[in-house]
Amino acid sequence: MSSKLDTLSLADHGPVIPVIVIDRVEDAVPLARALVAGGVKVLEVTLRTPVALEAIAAIAQAVPEAIVGAGTLRTAADAAAAKKAGSRFAVSPGFTLELAKACEAQDLPLLPGVSTASEVMMAADAGYRFLKLFPATAVGGVNLLKALAGPFADVAFCPTGGITVQTAPDFLKLPNVKVCGGSWLTPADAVKAGDWARITQLAREAAALRG
């Protein structure tokens, strides 16, 4: 298993990366299997719950066909913990040089978050050309991405935050958008009920979205 994954290659596996919040570790493996069954292989498990790292470890071990990563990384400690749990990549809500260096030290490919032109420049200066636009809808969505395309023709984006199955095609049509992140693939009620068939169906619809 190559740990040195190029984050841009994540987009090769489909148009949507699910942003997953796991509250019960026992849901992790069936949830991952349901998404993979629907054609969604790249999974971002956010570090927003106490069981997130345990969930990542469970998926990494039991669902090898999934490419599991950790989301909501903010600190060097997050990077170390995510790598130890078996994360293949990391996603952060914003960008700091400290976090970038920590991920590099862990050999953990980072998809850093940005929301302004200045942050795009900071990340690009540090060598990042594939960035997460977050929170995408709140900061300008499609219009902002169109505006950023001019001065940053060499930068690609994964918009995340507020995107739905209805609006995703508008983002995916943009030449500087390679993939988008979405939480709609794993609705809390479906996860709580163990309705894995519904999640597989949502994954199928998402996998077919390439605009």
Query: Is residue 146 annotated as part of the catalytic site, yes or no?
Result: no
Instruction: Label residue 39 left, alpha or beta by phi (over 0 means left) and psi (-120 to 50 means alpha).
Output: left
Catalytic residue among 41, 44, 83, 178: 44
Query: Is residue 54 annotated as part of the catalytic site, yes or no?
Result: no
Catalytic residue among 41, 83, 132, 178: 132
What are the structure tokens assigned to 16, written together? 């949507």
**How many residues can be counted in the chain?**
211
DSSP 180: E
Calpha distance 126→158 (Å, rounded): 18
- Say which residues have a Cβ less than 8 Å from residue 185's Cβ, sequence separation at least 6: 16, 18, 20, 35, 40, 199, 202, 203, 206
Q: Map 46-76 to HEC letters.
A: ECCCCCHHHHHHHHHHHCCCCEEEEECCCCH
Give the sheet arrangement for strand 67-71, strand by strand: 110-111, 90-91, 67-71, 42-46, 16-20, 180-182
Catalytic residues: 44, 132
